[in-house]
Amino acid sequence: MVKDITQPATQRQIAVGDIRKTHTNELDEIARYRRLTNYLVVAQIYLRDNVLLQEPLKPEHIKDRLLGHWGTSPGINLVYAHLNRLIKQNNLDMFLVTGPGHGAPANLANLYLEGTLNKYYPALTFDKKGLHTFVRNFSWPGGFPSHLYPGVPGTIHEGGELGYALATAFGAAMDNPDLVVACIVGDGEAETGPTATAWHSYKFINPVESGAVLPILHLNGYKISNPTIYGTMEDDELLSLFTGYGYKVQFVEGGEDADLDAQLYGAMDWGYQEIRAIQQAARSGQRIEKPKWPLIILRTPKGMTAPAEMDGEPLVGSYRSHQVPITDPQSNPEHLKLLEQWLRSYRVEELIDEQGRPRQELLNLCPIGDQRMGSNPHTYGGKIARDLDLPPIQDFAAQEDRGMPTRRGGNNVSAMEQVALYLREVIKRNPHLFRIFSPDELQSNKLGAVLDVKPREYEWPVPPHNEKVAAQGGQVIEVLSEHDCEAWLQGYILTGRHGLFPSYEAFLNIIVSMTDQFAKFLKLSKEFAWRLPVPSLNYLETSTLWRQEHNGFSHQNPGFINSILNKKAAVARVYLPPDANCLVSTMDHCLQSEDKVNLVIANKQRMPQWLSMDEAIAHCRAGASIWPWASTDNGVDPDIVLVGIGDNTTLEVMAAAQILRDELPELRIRVVNVTDLFILQENTEHPHGLDQQMFEALFTPDRPVIINFHGYPSAVEQLLFGRPNLGRISINGYREEGTTTTPFDMNVRNGTSRYQIVIQAIRKAAAHNPKVAALANARVSDYEYRLEAHRKYIEDHGSDPREIVEWQWQA
Amino acid sequence: MVKDITQPATQRQIAVGDIRKTHTNELDEIARYRRLTNYLVVAQIYLRDNVLLQEPLKPEHIKDRLLGHWGTSPGINLVYAHLNRLIKQNNLDMFLVTGPGHGAPANLANLYLEGTLNKYYPALTFDKKGLHTFVRNFSWPGGFPSHLYPGVPGTIHEGGELGYALATAFGAAMDNPDLVVACIVGDGEAETGPTATAWHSYKFINPVESGAVLPILHLNGYKISNPTIYGTMEDDELLSLFTGYGYKVQFVEGGEDADLDAQLYGAMDWGYQEIRAIQQAARSGQRIEKPKWPLIILRTPKGMTAPAEMDGEPLVGSYRSHQVPITDPQSNPEHLKLLEQWLRSYRVEELIDEQGRPRQELLNLCPIGDQRMGSNPHTYGGKIARDLDLPPIQDFAAQEDRGMPTRRGGNNVSAMEQVALYLREVIKRNPHLFRIFSPDELQSNKLGAVLDVKPREYEWPVPPHNEKVAAQGGQVIEVLSEHDCEAWLQGYILTGRHGLFPSYEAFLNIIVSMTDQFAKFLKLSKEFAWRLPVPSLNYLETSTLWRQEHNGFSHQNPGFINSILNKKAAVARVYLPPDANCLVSTMDHCLQSEDKVNLVIANKQRMPQWLSMDEAIAHCRAGASIWPWASTDNGVDPDIVLVGIGDNTTLEVMAAAQILRDELPELRIRVVNVTDLFILQENTEHPHGLDQQMFEALFTPDRPVIINFHGYPSAVEQLLFGRPNLGRISINGYREEGTTTTPFDMNVRNGTSRYQIVIQAIRKAAAHNPKVAALANARVSDYEYRLEAHRKYIEDHGSDPREIVEWQWQA
């Protein structure tokens, strides 16, 4: 291990004059190229015609609706041009994650010139017609939207909701040792919490097995209408902050007169060399301890190259250039004139010929083939994705239960411990292709076995009493930031790899909005045939609310289910496997699936096992089944249907079923288990939805149904909406009642306990079955009494009564 | 303005030896006090009896279920003791926000000793019985949960979900100039994004009008099973990082042998003096530019004072001390012995007398009265809250519409511009009592008028082209961090003040989990009579999805509604006022409400106005009304009921109603508007829910109903679940279809447009009304043709057809 004793760089170390002198022509060409991309941005925002300014600008050339964001675009164009230069000169494998996704017209301008747009949109040719289509289609219904989105080649991140660009870039760089992901972070985005912690990501990047991120913090000083925190920080503050984060900082600062091209030219070379120096040291066995990775801070006036002012108010270097700086050129002749001056200031006639073809010397500045950032193969995750090598799941069946249906309900197994054995094998078979990102809970979630193959990756030296943490590359990362985990995983799978995000159930809510955005990305990706399916985004929720009785109310929150239900049906999946075998089978399914957001929910404590692996596979394939061995209706005409969805709630259903079977044999009960939540929805709404005939085959057409559901009843309510005869269905679930208490008391508080189910069942069945009706009142009081006695015991002893703790299914 | 030229402090500046010499007795007493609080933590985790160790420890003295977190507790006890000393010596107005809320047994130990527990829990006396109850009741059903919660006096933050302690503390300090809020941030929490950006909060704190936060970053090096990022950073890295953030840093480091007491004694004095120096300079007109506020970094071994090791594995200074270090003392005699040694190491007999009364000299170390941190009046927000001085809302009626029902549907007004006038007056009348926290969107959201009274508060010097931003104290803060906004607001209202969080609709999803936690806090607060109601948490969602057609799909997300629906009925409210007057009336209601989470949703664009202010008040009070002037059923027996919920979707309902009235007079239509979403739910489920009779009075018992809803249909589906005869109800809403397009096309894509409603209505009514049935097919094709023609126009022109843009309600 080598100590890094170099000093943080500052902008004074770049010999701007020398660079200018040595590379005069190249810099001039880059400046011309930027003139062209800047022109193309302005044109996209404003013009629907006369796109080469071959006649004087008239109101009818202007779009009716002016949509777009100018302010950030010249900065993106500056960066893009210099990244192109760096790629060409060094034969780089590089692409760009653009944090300010509303700068899409800048990305589009560059993608147009490098020819990747034409590859996927053949109409966007290098002629007048193609140029006209390109310019007009921006922010036009059916054309390119105002923000980056999956229809833009080379895009793995929309940048619509700010905060996640940087960590997404790091996720893409993992396990791609030769890749450099450039990432523009705007000073608006920099204010977000997720970005503020994502700067630490390098502490998790092993320079041998992974590539690098070259962050470019672009400070233009203004958000929509405010100054920015980072924009108001002076260089010494920024230097101190980012040195603390672990970076070497290079400033590139000034307006168009500050020779930004020469500065950035030097900074890019510096950044690239710093990266390769760290990597080469590590790859030659001379790892640098706490290496300082390069960061470029680019401080330029917002909206530079626009008119300095309008109506006496500043445009450049002001929030007024954030979106459309000149808002009314169609109706205001003065402003039309100003816009024309602005457009003509780029002298487009020097950049594009009369036939609408950009000058060849400018096109020559673009990399070619897969080196074009819009064509970088990593950004086409679906094309390069390889299937995982998955082990046969029969090897991971809960052991004693295999083929022994007589032992149903015995053999207490932790579903998490079981699936961890499977995942350990997945890790072993798929180095550099499968990662687990977790918020510091693998051991707590009983998934510790996954660390047997490789310890958790962490690059900074750790104190002595740590276990299974090392700076030796790794497939498992833990950090107490759900935002990092989510963004890293998104970056990883969108570049064609596979992953899993295990979490405490309650705390996936922290990244609900990120999942929303990712589901939108997947939904839109399906609209482009050239975006082949990527591996699914897999969540494994455990430490579920029913067994967070020790941590209490703040740790009890199943709301993430509800948020998944609002995603498009083609994307969303929610699974609640009732036991370990079902969990292993479900996980195996999810790891083979594509273009989905899979939410899998299971408990980590030891629980009864219900199904052999063969049964589990069949059950999971069906999504829901009658469990005949737990039913007393012989498959026909039950008085009542008891439905378990979720493992803990299924346990209470099973206990209720056993009580009813033993103590009220007059009652014909059917026990159904649902493992795929979407079977509840109509088949017209979701591909997994059951048609009404299948639905009634499980739940009968008309008998009372008691659903004991893992999460908020609202989730089941919305799925069932539209089914006929809903009045017969009662839904128990988490009613937002909890504290630090006992497991059984959690059920009692929320009305999901066995005794409450039994009481419900008797009351409901009494209407159908006269024998039950005759007994109902007496039996209900009996069970209410037993429930009350349990409550009392819990208060007195601080624990559950023995008959609850030791309850076992009796076949 | 004065420049701060002092250097960042380091630990070397504290003369520990001198402090030890000068304050020997005091430090010794503090050490004894800490022995007692540490003992009480261990006792709470383990003991149900023999709490004074007056007999040898036996298995039956041990709780059956061992729940609690030891690791962070000795650090909390250390900080608490020294804060007590600082308070007493300086007569401070101070309380503590404890980030690691699972350290509750430490807080409880201190609260017990200072007597505030006894104030609210009279059984917790200073005698054997009280001590026994105190110790046993921790993590016991019906007793104190394992984490902080509203039942713990002096608590405004649970610390269950990590990330928000620091910003919450800043919110509490705002507008409380004499208050110092101490805040412990654990190194686990420090990894979260929200904390990482919250360090910038001082840039928004005006030292004249607001108090201060004294952050204590407590690094014990380990999370549940991992090292921590900040724990692995060396002092120079931390110094650089936090200097960049804008702090002076003081390190307090070492184990029990490092004279932590003397170090922290000095650090506390230093921190307090730094705070007062900055405040006094500012308050005497000599403001320091970019003042460096003090930060204490406390680096101590995790779980210190526990046994060094167990079974050869380290406990102290290792993740193994995170929760219950000795897990099985009941069943393992060796471990029981180790636990007894541990407990006896505190020599409790020297600290508590035989009657169970803590020694008076130790009790004397606690502040008294309201200076006790558990009794600090700011932490009882409900007790000290004052009502807002609210202006009469008639003054803010949309002008031309007042009393002119004939002009219904005309007079296009932006609801946001209108409510901004009202809010401006609220700001003016309520300095230091009402704040707005917004993620940089006030101007964009057309709420800019609120800046007329006071500009946005920002302390760092801003560049010249800014407007309405100044370091002069303020009631409005903007930052591009929803996490900061939410936590600041929570801290502000839990200390008895009022506030509003306006946001783009899509981006409140970023803080869903924080709202979840806050709603839990409110729900539990209601269980304690001594926690009087606090002002409500008010959200104003605008830039709603239907008019984010320019920003596109990433900005279209109404999911926050669904998350509010899962909160307890006593807490959750969702309002969708259909026009500006209804919005002003709703806002007025929300600002007077208590203990609620109010979500208000309205568009910012100019839209038709429907109700006079008197009508609006009546409509909002009812929550939903029939609009007879838009209906053709004369109040009885409609063929179809059209329901608008949300302003944009109501607009389409009104347009559909007008088309049907004019073009299909055979059809009897009723138009209903819902402004309070919860009226849909049964009255047994929500206090605003309508009973079935009232429900049928609006929606009829059996006629087809078309609901045109602002958000995901799932929200309405779950609310209606349980109502009879649901098959007649169709729900249109956002079906997750969007892009950059036109406003009308957004409706078309999601099936909420006027023509689609008309087609739906005709099809549904045909079943009831033979006259309609006769016409149905021809009419449906006609409207389908018109819809298609519109689609075509939009594609060709990039804008909506004139008859859509210029549509006006014709009375």
pLDDT at A705: 98
pLDDT at B4: 53
Domain co-membership, A558 together with A449: yes
- Are residues B197 and A198, on separate chains, in Cβ contact within 8 Å? no
Q: Which residue type sits at B772?
A: V
In the numeric block, the tokens 């002009």 are attached to B407
Question: What is the per-residue pLDDT across A304-314, written as a single tens digit (0 to 9) for each?
Answer: 999 999 999 99
pLDDT at A400: 57
Asked whether residue A612 is domain-assigned, the answer is no
Q: What DSSP designation does B652 have?
A: H
- Are residues B509 and A507, on separate chains, in Cβ contact within 8 Å? no
Asked whether residue A388 is domain-assigned, the answer is no
Q: Report chain B residues whose CB lies below 8 A from the CB of A722.
A: 717
Question: What is the per-residue pLDDT across A739-795, written as a single tens digit (0 to 9) for each?
Answer: 999 999 999 999 999 999 999 999 999 988 899 999 999 999 999 999 999 999 999
Domain co-membership, B343 together with B419: no
pLDDT at B737: 96
Q: Which helix (H) or strand (E) holds B166?
A: helix B165-173
pLDDT at A534: 98
Answer whether residue B722 shows pLDDT above 50.
Answer: yes
Q: What percent of chain B has pLDDT over 70?
A: 97
Residue B681 to residue B624: CA distance in whole angstroms: 12
In the numeric block, the tokens 């941590």 are attached to A551
Is residue A302 very low, low, confident or very high in pLDDT (cuts 50, 70, 90)?
very high
Question: What is the per-residue pLDDT across A176-202, written as a single tens digit (0 to 9) for each?
Answer: 999 999 999 999 999 999 999 999 999
Q: Which residue type sits at B409?
A: G
SS3 of B474, please? coil
Nearest chain A Cα distance for residue B392, angstroms? 31
Question: Is residue B741 within 8 angstroms of chain A, CB to CB?
Answer: yes
Domain co-membership, A278 together with A416: no
Domain co-membership, A338 together with A482: no
- Are residues B193 and A483, on separate chains, in Cβ contact within 8 Å? yes
Residue B656 to residue B536: CA distance in whole angstroms: 37
Write the CB contacts of B206 (distance below 8 Å, at least 6 apart in sequence): B282, B457, B459, B471, B472, B473, B474
- Are residues A516 and B232, on separate chains, in Cβ contact within 8 Å? no
Question: Is residue A255 within 8 angstroms of chain B, CB to CB?
Answer: no
Domain co-membership, B215 together with B306: yes
Residue of B276 and B8 predicted with greater confidence: B276
User: Which of A573, A607, A641 delimits the end of a domain?
Assistant: A607
Question: What is the per-residue pLDDT across B742-782, written as a single tens digit (0 to 9) for each?
Answer: 999 999 999 999 999 999 999 999 988 899 999 999 999 99
pLDDT at B305: 97
Q: What is the ipTM of this complex?
A: 0.96
Question: Is residue A565 within 8 angstroms of chain B, CB to CB?
Answer: yes
- Are residues A160 and B517, on separate chains, in Cβ contact within 8 Å? no
Domain co-membership, A403 together with A356: no
Nearest chain A Cα distance for residue B234, angstroms? 10
How does the average pLDDT of chain A come out, rounded?
95
Please give the structure tokens belonging to residue B731: 């729900």
Asked whether residue A385 is domain-assigned, the answer is no
Q: Which helix (H) or strand (E) holds A214?
A: strand A212-219
Domain co-membership, B271 together with B147: yes
SS3 of B144, please? strand
Residue A176 to residue A96: CA distance in whole angstroms: 15
Asked whether residue A810 is domain-assigned, the answer is no
Containing structural domain, residue B269: 2-367
Whose CA is closest to B343, among B55, B656, B26, B679? B55
Is residue B411 very low, low, confident or very high in pLDDT (cuts 50, 70, 90)?
confident
Please give the structure tokens belonging to residue A467: 């276990």
pTM: 0.97
Question: What is the per-residue pLDDT across B622-644, written as a single tens digit (0 to 9) for each?
Answer: 999 999 999 999 999 999 999 99
pLDDT at A14: 75
pLDDT at A8: 47
pLDDT at A640: 97
Is residue A399 very low, low, confident or very high in pLDDT (cuts 50, 70, 90)?
low
How does the average pLDDT of chain B come out, rounded?
95
pLDDT at B811: 78
pLDDT at A9: 44
User: Which of B607, B640, B657 delimits the end of a domain?
Assistant: B607
Question: What is the per-residue pLDDT across A16-66, written as a single tens digit (0 to 9) for each?
Answer: 999 999 999 999 999 999 999 999 999 999 999 999 999 999 999 999 999
Question: What is the per-residue pLDDT across A243-258, written as a single tens digit (0 to 9) for each?
Answer: 999 999 999 999 989 9
- Are residues A480 and B191, on separate chains, in Cβ contact within 8 Å? yes
Domain co-membership, A579 together with A503: yes
User: Which of A580, A607, A634 delimits the end of a domain?
Assistant: A607
Residue A469 to residue A463: CA distance in whole angstroms: 10
Question: What is the per-residue pLDDT across B568-614, written as a single tens digit (0 to 9) for each?
Answer: 999 999 999 999 999 999 999 999 999 999 999 999 999 999 999 99
Average pLDDT of span B787-796? 94
Asked whether residue B617 is domain-assigned, the answer is no
Question: Is residue B398 within 8 angstroms of chain A, CB to CB?
Answer: no
Asked whether residue A356 is domain-assigned, the answer is yes
Average pLDDT of span B493-501? 98
Average pLDDT of span A643-657? 98
Domain co-membership, B60 together with B163: yes
Answer whether residue A11 shows pLDDT above 50.
Answer: no
Count other Cβ atoms within 10 Å, centred on residue A350.
12
Average pLDDT of span A701-720? 98
pLDDT at A324: 96
Taking only residues 271 to 330 of chain B, the set having a beta carbon closer than 8 angstroms to any beta carbon of chain A reads 290, 314, 317-320
Whose CA is closest to B118, among B93, B153, B146, B83? B153
Asked whether residue A372 is domain-assigned, the answer is no
Q: Per the structure, how many domains does chain B have?
A: 3
Question: What is the per-residue pLDDT across B420-476, written as a single tens digit (0 to 9) for each?
Answer: 999 999 999 999 999 999 999 999 999 999 999 999 999 999 988 788 999 989 899
Identity of the residue in B440, B562, B739 whose CB atom sits nearest the CB atom of A226: B440
Q: Report chain A residues whose CB lies below 8 A from the CB of B188.
A: 440, 480
Of A3-7, A482-486, B33-37, B685-689, the least confident: A3-7
Domain co-membership, B602 together with B714: no
- Are residues A740 and B139, on separate chains, in Cβ contact within 8 Å? yes
Question: What is the per-residue pLDDT across B23-32, written as a single tens digit (0 to 9) for each?
Answer: 999 999 999 9
- Determine the residue among B513, B543, B745, B791 to mutate to test chain A binding: the one whose Cβ has the most chain A Cβ atoms within 10 Å: B513
Q: What is the CATH number of the domain that holds B482?
A: 3.40.50.970
Average pLDDT of span B288-298? 97
Residue A168 to residue B734: CA distance in whole angstroms: 28
Is residue A148 very low, low, confident or very high in pLDDT (cuts 50, 70, 90)?
very high
Spatial contact of A548 and A653, defined as CB atoms under 8 Å apart: no
Residue A760 to residue A765: CA distance in whole angstroms: 8
Angle at B435 between CA B429 and CA B437, to 5 degrees: 150
Spatial contact of A637 and A603, defined as CB atoms under 8 Å apart: no
Q: Report chain A residues whose CB lies below 8 A from the CB of B197.
A: 191-193, 195-196
* Rounded-to-10 torsion of CA B724, B726, B732, B735: 110
Q: What percent of chain A has pLDDT over 90?
A: 93
Nearest chain A Cα distance for residue B662, angstroms? 31
Asked whether residue A459 is domain-assigned, the answer is yes
Domain co-membership, B348 together with B472: no
Taking only residues 714 to 733 of chain A, the set having a beta carbon closer than 8 angstroms to any beta carbon of chain B reads 714-715, 717-718, 720-722, 724, 726-727
Domain co-membership, B402 together with B459: yes
pLDDT at A410: 81
Of A75-89, A577-591, B404-418, the least confident: B404-418
Identity of the residue in B458, B483, B550 whose CB atom sits nearest the CB atom of A227: B458
Question: What is the per-residue pLDDT across B70-118, written as a single tens digit (0 to 9) for each?
Answer: 999 999 999 999 999 999 999 999 999 999 999 999 999 999 999 999 9
Residue A583 to residue B643: CA distance in whole angstroms: 44
Average pLDDT of span B505-520? 97
Nearest chain B Cα distance for residue A146, angstroms? 6
A253 DSSP β-pair partners: A299
